[in-house]
Structure 1
Amino acid sequence: MIRLDDLGLFVRTAALGSFSAAAREANLLPGQASAAIKRLERELDLRLFVRSTRTLRLTTEGEQYLETAREVLDTLHAGHERLRAADGPLSGVLRVAAPSDLGRNALLPWLTEFRAAHPALVLRLFLSDQVTDVFRDPVDVAFRLGRFEDARYVTLPLAPANRRVLVASPAYLAARGRPQSLDELRQHDGLLYTLGGRTHDQWAFEVDGRRQVVPMRAALLSDDAEITRRWAVAGQGIAYKSWLDVCDDVRDGRLVALFAQHGESVPLHLVCPHRKQFSPAIRQLHALLRPRFEALTDRLPTG
């Protein structure tokens, strides 16, 4: 008989590409994870992985069986969530991933409030500027900026009208002058961030239904997007940020928005790899956050 724990270890080993990584995640020894996969292979009478001293990859049969294993686990997860929903109060663990600046500047107090309203729920928050892989990483839901057309993902909209906005401090604009056109941005100090070894120095805008790209000269660079906001507040240059990250600074006068009507569209979503993973906790979190994020985007300047 196939053990559900073995099935779960198979799915996580396939995602992580390592017995030891899957074992650490499950708080097991590497040998225990390997033994679980061998036990599963015996039950199925087929080989799931090709093993070598340096690599671990799925066999053709393993790739075919992986989808079935995911569907089985998803179905069980959905059944469990329906029972939990019938019981009333939220419980269990909710693992949430979010961009670092969004997490610090907007989400943190709201997630704290959500947890206080559901004391039986354990909330795990993972902040990173690296894009979370909701298939590979051990998270239930992720906050994502941008458009998603991949059928593997299911999204819940949070801020469909969100845009990127150019921002600079009043002190910087007083010293360097306010740019009168997008092309004049080339003469200014860009506050840039790097992601995955790539520097985001090509700023895209929407002008009269067309896309305009302005290459920027880097004055300061960081691999933490929140740092670019802090540099902008400190008067070090111009940053191009999601409105959700800078709206409070603009409201309080620490930053000035420039050409906001031309900012690139970056809607915010909650993202899951499969509809069955939209648990009661995720649905209630979405219900709490959507009107709050939409209220922030309602304050987007038009000029």
Structure 2
Amino acid sequence: MRTDDLNVFVYAAEHGSLSAAARELAITPAVASVAIKRLEDALGTRLLVRSTRSLRLTPAGAHYLVHAKTALSALAEGEKELHRERQEIAGELSLSMPSDLGRNVLLGWLDRFMARHPQLRLRLRVSDRVSDLFRQPVEIALRYGVPEDSSLVALPLKSDNHRAVCAAPSYIARHGEPATPDELRQHNCLCFNLGERVHNQWQFGSERISVQGNRVSDDAECVRRWALAGEGIAYKSRLDVQADLDAGRLVALLASFSTEPAPLYLVCPHRLSLTPAVVALKDFLIERLQENAK
């Protein structure tokens, strides 16, 4: 059932004339007549009795007119509400973010963002599993790396982020530091797996080093905690471990060697997802990330 057909019906009933309804809606009388017939066919009943000079409602038409007006009013109000939400930083913000960065960095930042915008409601998914933005109830996601799905909209938050090789001082005291990436083969390396793939190919420039160790997790925070406990060497996003490096809880290793890029993106399914709330969050996170790098 078409809303423009409902409009023709309501206008015709209120003006008592199909021609007057057509003038109000800037359509021809023939188009208006077709709209009424289409609506009557859809409902299986006559709504209007028409002659060359007059038009009146049938009993079914009078009954249906109330519901047609209610439906059109509800649709108009819904459109206004959507427009208001797109103009205001309000409503629900559904967000997916990686575990380690999410819990230890972004969670505190999100508290500050929500305090700035008290009309917002936050629905948060913290996981290293890649959320399906088309099937799961997630509006936007924060992800490391360029999305493989080219249909997604990916906005850079931290393009120059890289991975860092790091270990706790206690591990270095027991096992020493690797002088070259190749020496990582003689160390206990803490690995992360995404889905069924274990990330045990650590990249240094164009060279990839196959590493191994006695611990693998699909939760990036577990890998960081193992590193902090002195259990081995980790290959982590620098954003994840920057606070630990600054505090001396972890030590950067092989600092003279270039490592794999790990750019951080805000990802959404389409441009219509870029509501004022999402744009404000993007700008806020870029600001925090820039401050964090100083």
**Normalized against structure 2, the TM-score is what?**
0.70
Q: Partner of 1:264: helix, strand, or coil?
A: coil
Q: Partner of 1:115: helix, strand, or coil?
A: helix
For 2:253, the equivalent position in structure 1 comes to: 258
Indicate which of 213, 218, 221 corresponds to 1:223.
218
**Structure 2 stretches of 5 or more lacking a match?**
4-41, 43-77
The 8 Å contact of residues 249 and 255 in structure 1, kept in 2 or not, is answered as yes
The 8 Å contact of residues 78 and 279 in structure 1, kept in 2 or not, is answered as no
The 8 Å contact of residues 222 and 228 in structure 1, kept in 2 or not, is answered as yes
The 8 Å contact of residues 201 and 211 in structure 2, kept in 1 or not, is answered as yes
1:190-232 C-alpha deviation (Å, 9 max, x unpaired) = 11122212221111222xxxx2111111221222110110010
> For residues 158 and 144 of structure 1, what CA distance do their matches in structure 2 show?
10
> For residues 81 and 144 of structure 2, what CA distance do their matches in structure 1 show?
30
Which structure: larger Rg?
2
The 8 Å contact of residues 164 and 252 in structure 2, kept in 1 or not, is answered as yes
Q: Partner of 2:150: helix, strand, or coil?
A: coil
Give the partner amino acid of 1:83: R
Q: Partner of 1:172: helix, strand, or coil?
A: helix
Q: How far has the Cα of 1:149 moved from its partner?
A: 6.5
Alignment of 1:77-96 (within 5 A): 82-86=83-87, 88=88, 90-96=89-95
The 8 Å contact of residues 178 and 254 in structure 2, kept in 1 or not, is answered as no
For 2:287, the equivalent position in structure 1 comes to: 291
Q: Partner of 2:191: helix, strand, or coil?
A: strand
Give the partner amino acid of 2:208: V
> For residues 124 and 240 of structure 1, what CA distance do their matches in structure 2 show?
30
> For residues 181 and 79 of structure 1, what CA distance do their matches in structure 2 show?
62
> For residues 282 and 78 of structure 1, what CA distance do their matches in structure 2 show?
20
In the alignment, is residue 238 of structure 1 matched against residue 233 of structure 2?
Answer: yes
> For residues 155 and 265 of structure 1, what CA distance do their matches in structure 2 show?
16
Q: Identity over the aligned pairs, expressed in percent?
A: 47
For 2:72, the equivalent position in structure 1 comes to: none
In the alignment, is residue 198 of structure 1 matched against residue 197 of structure 2?
Answer: yes
Q: CA 1:272/1:174 → structure 2, altered by over 3 Å: closer, same or farther?
A: same
In the alignment, is residue 99 of structure 1 matched against residue 98 of structure 2?
Answer: yes
Q: How far has the Cα of 1:254 moved from its partner?
A: 0.2
Report how many residues are paired: 220
Q: How far has the Cα of 1:268 moved from its partner?
A: 0.3
Q: How far has the Cα of 1:171 moved from its partner?
A: 1.2
1:131-174 C-alpha deviation (Å, 9 max, x unpaired) = 11111211111001012474311122111110011110111111
> For residues 96 and 284 of structure 2, what CA distance do their matches in structure 1 show?
17
Q: Partner of 1:219: helix, strand, or coil?
A: coil
The 8 Å contact of residues 191 and 239 in structure 1, kept in 2 or not, is answered as yes
Give the partner amino acid of 2:226: W
Q: How far has the Cα of 1:176 moved from its partner?
A: 0.6
> For residues 281 and 212 of structure 1, what CA distance do their matches in structure 2 show?
41
> For residues 157 and 136 of structure 1, what CA distance do their matches in structure 2 show?
23
**Normalized against structure 1, the TM-score is what?**
0.68
> For residues 181 and 228 of structure 2, what CA distance do their matches in structure 1 show?
21
1:93-135 C-alpha deviation (Å, 9 max, x unpaired) = 1000001111101100011111112112110110011111111
For 1:163, the equivalent position in structure 2 comes to: 162
Alignment of 1:47-196 (within 5 A): 82-86=83-87, 88=88, 90-148=89-147, 150-196=149-195
Q: Partner of 1:262: helix, strand, or coil?
A: coil
For 1:63, the equivalent position in structure 2 comes to: none
The 8 Å contact of residues 142 and 271 in structure 1, kept in 2 or not, is answered as yes
Give the partner amino acid of 1:217: Q
Q: Partner of 2:214: helix, strand, or coil?
A: strand
